[in-house]
Amino acid sequence: MLGRAHPRRTTPAQLWNRRIDSVITNSVSRRYAKGLFDSLETAAVEPTRQGLADIAAALAASPALKTVLASPGFTFEEKRAVLSALNRRVGGPATLSAFFALLLRENRVTLLREIADAFAAQVDLQKGTTKVSVTSACSLAPAEQDALQARLRDLLRRDVDLTFQTDPAVVGGLHIRIGSHVIDGTVRGRLTALQSLLTKE
């Protein structure tokens, strides 16, 4: 009788390469995000932040769009037209179209999601706030939201911009995202961690 096939383990070299790739990606994304931020007037910062977030979300939801932007089979002008049209559709500022052209010329357009996140982090840094997303199985009462915000403000020692959402699949507890860091206190999170541990046995 054949035994159950075990998942192929990730080698230390593969983990190291992934870590290096992540560091490089984050560094490059922050550089472009800061360059864009420094070039803007104060009034243009929030519209740019929202435009970047909307376009990154649209690309994440459309594999076809991502394929067009990553494919050498489409010209620079065709890709720029796609991004400009998308920017107009989400109501983004005109400065973003010029920024997208820069990313296309320098082959960095595939980092749009990371650049959008880095730009948002730069805005929060300047405002002295930290953006936090909280997911729970059911809606938290206003008093619970206020208590959580106060607790996070004390822990982080800065103002907190909290957004709340519900997802019945989390089963129980809270899933908290602080920037790129995640605190998963849900039952599903603990089960996932347990499953990951068991597959390594």
Tell me, letter by letter, the H, E, C secondary structure of 111-170: HHHHHHHHHHHHHHHHHCEEEEEEEECCCCCHHHHHHHHHHHHHHHCCEEEEEEEECHHH
What pLDDT, on the 0 to 100 scale, is given for residue 85? 93
What pLDDT, on the 0 to 100 scale, is given for residue 8? 63
- Domains of the chain plus CATH, in order, are 12-124 (1.10.520.20), 128-199 (3.40.30)
What pLDDT, on the 0 to 100 scale, is given for residue 18? 63
What pLDDT, on the 0 to 100 scale, is given for residue 19? 62
CB of 134 within 8 A of CB of 176?
Answer: yes
Query: Could you give the CA distance from residue 141 to residue 121 in angstroms, rounded to a whole number?
Result: 28
What pLDDT, on the 0 to 100 scale, is given for residue 201? 45
**Phi-psi sector, 53: left (phi>0), alpha (psi -120 to 50), beta:** alpha
Query: Could you give the CA distance from residue 153 to residue 159 in angstroms, rounded to a whole number?
Result: 6
What pLDDT, on the 0 to 100 scale, is given for residue 129? 75
What pLDDT, on the 0 to 100 scale, is given for residue 180? 58
Q: Tens digit of pLDDT per residue, the chain (201 long)? A: 455 555 566 666 665 566 665 667 778 899 999 999 999 998 999 999 999 999 999 998 999 988 999 899 999 999 999 999 999 999 999 999 999 999 999 999 989 999 998 998 888 878 777 778 888 888 888 888 888 888 888 887 777 878 888 888 777 777 788 765 777 766 566 556 555 544 554
